Amino acid sequence: MSGGLLVAGTTSDAGKSVVTAGICRWLVRQGVTVAPFKAQNMSLNSFVTREGAEIGRAQAMQAQACRIEPTALMNPVLLKPGGERSSQVVLLGKPVGELSARGYHGGRQQKLLGTVLDCLAELRGTYDAVICEGAGSPAEINLRRTDIVNMGIARNARLPVLVVGDIDRGGVFASFFGTVALLSPEDQEFVAGFLVNKFRGDVSLLEPGLDMLHGLTGRRTYGVLPFRHGLGIDEEDGMAVSLRSTVRESHVAPPVGQDVLRVAVCAIPLMSNFTDVDALAAEPGVVVRFVDRPEELADADLVVVPGTRGTVRALQWLRERGLADALVSRAADGRPVLGVCGGFQILGEHIEDDVESRAGQVDGLGVLPVRVRFAREKTLTRPVGEALGEHVEGYEIHHGVADVTGGETFLDGCRVGAVWGTHWHGSLESDGFRRAFLREVAAAAGRRFVPAPGTSFAALREEQLDRLGDLIEEHADTDALWRLIESGAPQGLPFIPPGAPA
């Protein structure tokens, strides 16, 4: 049997996805064949595999860290929130229905455990190691009975557990201790130790606390990862992005031309695949920010209306905020607007939705000659084509079927003046197409902006993944980590009271 590890966290956003990717990249650089795995993911940021399966983008990114193609096995259960209390359930890459949180945790989740374990077993039979990512915290005592992503899978698959804590938030020692102490004796047997994430300062000042934590729990710390800027990856939750910040804290080269391009992204409800604009943010001289007020569009050279899990709800939000009128005015003035997926649908003439919102026919913004009808079957494809004289690749995830009745052809959508619309996510990652598109935007906006000729988004992503691997290699005890992956949790780990409530 191959080796395995479950990377859990004291909280959501503790750094599980980053650590998992870093361990994967470190292992593959050692000649180990490795695959990522997350039993259950809740995310609106998803991806389509080559076989047409929808999985979380974090697992697709982790597969890239492993230098392998992502598959549905790596994320068998994906939950896509459609409101405060319900989500679409995607099983093995295909939607199987909508469930309330109560309905899912009330029985459906536990029934999926067999499927999840089968997927993990298939991966472990194929690769030398499988690095699993947990969700939230393993100490969610209200959800432990039906858990299939943290200790539920660790115990069933006999995986050692490494608990990651974000020290930048404060309280990391209490979080580590409390996480273990709220687990049952049976669960605690699999918690091997800890990994500190986002540390700033002198590690020697931290070491006395790590020694005390070892004394209190009998569990060692496998590494202290320093805080690093610019390590943002494909997050699971669009709300992790501040509405008034740049997309990434990375250091980008100065602009090639005399002007910069300012891109405003409408922060619509249930925003999905907001990573579409990452390729723009990686361009020297392109400034990207998320906005939620009409006046914030005034100085933008390009406005992006992104994808959403709730097209009709997002359209209503745009109207309530005054952003809809601002978008229509921009289109009339010949100022650039790009709609992607749900954003493309919003820019059309009308939407007929008896599937997602069940609102029936709703008027769109009417700036593109497009009529959209929502189908029950979801489109999940990896299209390849040409636009603006350049090769383009992308992926599609949508229920809406667009009937384009005019304008110039643009990918699967259309263009009218300086307004573009398409269902293709990820198209801006195609370097030649992105540069051609930005030249069009600059001309329409009257900016003396010149795209940098050598920017490769794929190369930048590889550099980023290598930096994650470097973090693990340089700041974790990799010998001890490999023993953990190969042999499992140490025997005889002490029980820390009080344990999980009966």
Q: pLDDT of 450-477, one tens digit each?
A: 999 989 999 999 999 999 999 999 999 9
Using CA atoms, how far apart are residues 502 and 499, in angstroms rounded to an integer? 9
pLDDT tens digit sequence for 156-169: 999 999 999 999 99
Q: What pLDDT does 105 receive?
A: 60
Supply φ then ψ for residue 5, to 5 degrees.
-155, 140
Residue 265, strand partner residues: 290, 304
Using CA atoms, how far apart are residues 313 and 118, in angstroms rounded to an integer? 37
**From 341, 398, 399, 423, active-site residue:** 341
Strand-strand pairing, 337-340 and 419-422? parallel
Q: What pLDDT does 229 receive?
A: 73
Taking a C-beta distance cutoff of 8 angstroms, is the pair 314, 320 a contact? Answer: no
> For residue 193, what are the CA distances in angstroms to 165, 205, 487?
11, 20, 14
Beta-sheet strand order (sheet of 161-166)? 34-37, 129-133, 3-9, 161-166, 191-199, 220-226
Active site residue 132: no
Using CA atoms, how far apart are residues 350 and 153, in angstroms rounded to an integer? 45
Residue 167, strand partner residues: none
Alpha helices in 30-103 (DSSP H): 57-65, 101-103
Using CA atoms, how far apart are residues 311 and 220, in angstroms rounded to an integer? 48
Residue the block writes with tokens 């115990």: 155
Using CA atoms, how far apart are residues 342 and 366, in angstroms rounded to an integer? 14
**From 398, 399, 425, 475, active-site residue:** 425
Q: Map residue 268 onto helix, strand or coil.
A: coil
Q: What pLDDT does 44 receive?
A: 87
Q: What pLDDT does 233 receive?
A: 62
pLDDT tens digit sequence for 311-368: 999 999 999 999 999 999 999 999 999 999 999 999 999 999 898 888 889 999 999 9
CA 150 from centre of chain: 19
> For residue 488, what are the CA distances in angstroms to 31, 121, 276, 441?
20, 16, 39, 54
Non-local CB neighbours of 334 within 8 Å, separated by 6+ positions: 417, 418, 444
Q: Which of 182, 61, 62 is nearest to 132 (CA)?
A: 62
Q: What is the 3-state secondary structure (H, E, C) of 452-463?
A: CCCCCHHHHHHH
Active site residue 119: no
- Counting beta carbons within 10 angstroms of the beta carbon of residue 466, is it exposed (0 to 12), middle (13 to 18) or buried (19 or more)? middle
Can you list the residues of the chain whose pLDDT is less than 50? 1, 238-250
CA atoms within a 13 Å half-sphere pointing along the CA-CB vector of 412: 24
Q: What pLDDT does 153 receive?
A: 95
Supply φ then ψ for residue 293, to 5 degrees.
-135, 145
Taking a C-beta distance cutoff of 8 angstroms, is the pair 363, 382 a contact? Answer: no
Which tokens hold the place of 427? 């198209």
Q: Which of 54, 33, 34, 38 is nearest to 96 (CA)?
A: 54
Q: Cα torsion at 75, 133, 9, 80 (round to 10°)?
A: -10
Q: Where are the strands (E) in 134-282, listed by range?
A: 161-166, 191-199, 220-226, 261-266, 271-272
Q: What pLDDT does 235 receive?
A: 57
Kindly give the interhelix angle for 57-65 and 457-475, rounded to the nearest 10 degrees: 70
